[in-house]
Chain A
Amino acid sequence: MFFDLTDEQRALAETVRDVLADRCDLTAVRAVFEDTDGDGHPRELWRTIGDQGWLSVCVPVEYGGLGLGLLDAQVIARAFGAGVVPGPWASTVLAGEAVRRFGSSEQAAAVLGPLGAGELVATVALRGPGGGFGRTGIAVRASPDGRLHGMASGVEYAAVAGLLVVAALEPGPAADTRSAAGRRTADQAGVAGVGVDAVVADRVGLYLVEPSAAGVRVAPQSGFDATTRLAAVTFEGAPGRRLPGSDDAALTDLLRRGAALAAADLVGIAREALRRTVAYDIARVQFGRPVGSFQALAHHLADLHVAVTMAEHAVLFAAHAIDTTEQPDTEQPDTEQPDVVLAVAIAKSKASDTAREVTAAMIQYHGGLGYTWEHDTHFFYKRAKRLATAYGDSGDHLAEIARTAVSPMS
């Protein structure tokens, strides 16, 4: 029984924080944040990230990676959140996970080596304009010959990526809705109320697409969280290489990994925002005493500490659940069973709510200063606000929890 980071994971966390503090402090973050004409991708930092092995954490050893799991990846994600660090680390790791889990060995060999070494920036394009995370939010269709048509929105760092992992709907093998499999797929698609004859039993496929290929157009989208750059990607007959192991469950798996990494970034933000707020409220004097000595602030900060602590536990447990579900122990020992569906939904919901609350309090308890552009508070607040909705917002995950623990319903 050991519910904590190992000494090695603690050492990794310390290294990542030290290196980031040295190479990408808040002054450097601000430079990227305010460089609205730039692509938001600090390339010197990227070289360091590649050299440090932070991109190869989940890459199997046979492809030159560290062969670790999400538990180790979330250690890095937390440090990136704490430093509100810009750049495509998370999107690249997640794209790598798609290739590792669902790609052929040829695809893995071609992609994971360069990706782990920092030579390839990658990202995931999983939802269309206005769409949510999940198959109903996809606005790209794949033809049987692998050509993609449609649009993806809010794609992290698509403008600097060398590789996209694109979720597309493709005609299922059971477009014949009279078959049991076809009906089942139609049910899963959540199209109740549509006449059975009208149902096209689509399934999800994940495709590798090079943004430089003909038929791909990348248009940067501006957004308030300039620590992460987004783009819309349009596909007009773009050539895609299908990940052969991909299907609806693969999308779900990928979204879960995305949610766990986003939750880790969020708890990193929350812990750091709380630390900075406490430090400020110890130093700031009003009415002749530090404002942090007033219970109106102190008690709320104490509650936030409890919430952040719980969110940290939840993120650890979710990452552990993903890792152990991928490689279950066949001996069935006496263990605290992780239900991966619940664990990830709990972590993302808790981390999203907590990070939003802490970063809002950070502004409030810095007073007028916290509301200025010059102060760093808004980096934390804006990043938390965006990530809180990434891979499902709190409401989406609460609905998932209710489907699992209360009753299925819709």
Chain B
Amino acid sequence: MDLTYPPEVADFRRELRAWLSEQLPAAWAAPGFWATLGEDEAFDLRRGWERRKALAGFGGIDWPVEYGGRGGSATMAAVADAELMHARAPRSVNPLGLTFLAPTVMAVGTPRQKAEILAPMLRNEVIWCQGFSEPESGSDLGSVRTRGERDGDEFVVNGQKVWTTSARRADRMFALVRTDPAAGRHRGLSLLLVDLRSPGVEVRPIRQMSGISEFGEVFFTDVRVPAADCVGGLGNGWATAMLLLSFERGSSAMGQYTDFRRAYDQIVEVARALGRDRDPLVRQSLARRLVELECLRYHALHVLTEVERGRDLGFASSVTKLQWSQTYQDLFDTLDEVLGADVGLDQPLGELGDLDLTALRRESFWSRSVTIWGGSSQIQRSIVAERVLGLPRGS
């Protein structure tokens, strides 16, 4: 065990902190600030901020320099995640591109794709969304029906994607499309890059239970996609998709911890303000939440160690997903216990002072989604049971 950061990481942290304290508007960190803005206004602010951050050299921390990154280590990237959360900097508006598409293109993209996709993504010139789920294809990803028929140098795409995060604001989509219906379930798929400004694309927002619309449905009617915009090889979409999903792994768990810890600290503040911190059951509930949160931090440090050693986490990343999603969701059950009988009021009367519950409330509804997307908890448990514990496949 050695939990000391190497000097170059410590230097990097200082540099990033200094830049953040100079560049991040103080008003943005005020509780409830983002809730006062309209969705479009908030998006534009965040898009511009992230672009400035990249131009200042704080984007793509662990990306190779040749792709416009900083060439840093996974530890530096984790430290950056944690510092950005700590400073209450806004979250990325391009998370699906940055987390999934970028490392996939680095691994299997053509030289032209690397040049066209990577650096512009860092500067937020192109916002990406993911097109995997369909109405009849959720956890069972191999069943996608959206079709791409070859027509000369192009594919003609028809079908529908759903649960598309940022659909309304994205410029392009990386979509899993059936390009050879005659081949087997997993064999006839390709990963295509679709320009959402093309004729034949229709985007409809989906209003979530929190009341806001981060998701959408995307309909394709004879949308033309150049054949050169296929990543990872024609008919090789299943392997490419699995590679892509494998990049959702723990080096971001440090940032998640910092983010969730902030929510936890706010819940503790609410409990103190309402005098609920003296209730023994509330105290025990808050203590249990901290046990799981701190376990997530330890786990993040362990995962970081594995990544730095060049180890493939493989199916163990399902353990990370189960831990963070359950921990996060449980925080808000404890918030309900804290609020007690006033839980149904948007802003309970009492000694809350300038504590604003709007953001916590929004998070509490959002938290119901985290055990569904990115592989539901039931899928993750099956993966852990079969691939980690070695139990026989269920029927």
Q: Which A residues have a C-beta under 8 Å from some C-beta of B?
A: 1-5, 71, 278, 281-282, 289-290, 292-295, 297-299, 301-303, 305-306, 309-311, 313-314, 316-317, 319-320, 329, 333-336, 338, 342-343, 346, 349-350, 395, 398-399, 401-402, 405-407, 409
Contacts and interface: CB of A to CB of B under 8 A. Distances in A.
A306 B386 CA distance: 14
Contacts of B385: 292, 295, 298-299, 301-302
A1 B301 contact: yes
Interface stretch (B90-98, B288-296, B358-366): B288-296
Interface in B290-306: 290-292, 294-299, 301-302, 304-306
10 contacts: A2-B305, A3-B304, A278-B389, A290-B391, A292-B392, A298-B389, A320-B1, A334-B9, A334-B13, A402-B287
B319 interface: yes
Given A1-B301, A2-B305, A398 B1 contact: no
B313 interface: no
B291 A298 contact: no
Given A2-B3, A407-B278, 12 more contacts: A3-B302, A3-B304, A4-B306, A289-B392, A292-B385, A298-B381, A298-B382, A310-B298, A320-B3, A346-B294, A399-B284, A406-B287
| Most chain A beta carbons < 10 A, residue from B305, B386, B391 | B391
Contact of B381 (A302, A335, A407): A302
A299 B288 CA distance: 22
Contacts of A320: 1, 3
A132 B85 CA distance: 41
B283 interface: yes
B277 A407 contact: yes
A311 B323 CA distance: 12
B40 interface: no
B387 to A, nearest CB: 10
A359 B244 CA distance: 38
A299 B302 contact: no
Contacts of B378: 295, 299
A346 B290 contact: yes
Size class of the contact patch on chain B: 35 or more
A305 B383 CA distance: 12
Contact of A299 (B1, B75, B296, B382): B382
A283 B304 CA distance: 36
Contacts of A289: 392, 395
A405 B304 CA distance: 26
A26 B355 CA distance: 58
B391 A1 contact: no
Given A2-B305, A4-B302, A282 B287 contact: no
A392 to B, nearest CB: 13
A302 B308 CA distance: 26
B207 interface: no
A136 to B, nearest CB: 18
Contacts of A298: 381-382, 385-386, 389, 391, 394
A407 B273 CA distance: 11
B1 A350 contact: no
A310 to B, nearest CB: 4
Nearest to B306: A4
Contact of A336 (B3, B6, B391): B3
Given A2-B2, A305-B389, A350 B301 contact: no
Q: What 9 pairs across the A-B complex have the smallest Cβ distances?
A: A334-B10, A313-B298, A298-B385, A302-B384, A310-B295, A3-B301, A402-B283, A401-B287, A398-B287
B258 to A, nearest CB: 12
B322 interface: yes
A287 to B, nearest CB: 10
A99 B378 CA distance: 51
Contacts of B389: 278, 298, 301-302, 305
B319 A1 contact: no
Nearest to B283: A402
B391 A314 contact: no
Interface in B261-319: 268, 271-272, 277-278, 283-284, 286-288, 290-292, 294-299, 301-302, 304-306, 308, 319
B392 A293 contact: yes
A314 B6 CA distance: 23
Contacts of A319: 1
A335 B4 CA distance: 4
A309 B284 contact: no
B388 interface: yes
B140 to A, nearest CB: 15
A1 B304 CA distance: 8
B112 interface: no
Contact of A398 (B9, B284, B319, B386): B284
Given A4-B305, A310-B323, A407-B277, A401 B382 contact: no
Given A1-B308, A302-B385, A310-B298, A294 B394 contact: yes
Contacts of B295: 310-311, 313-314, 346, 350
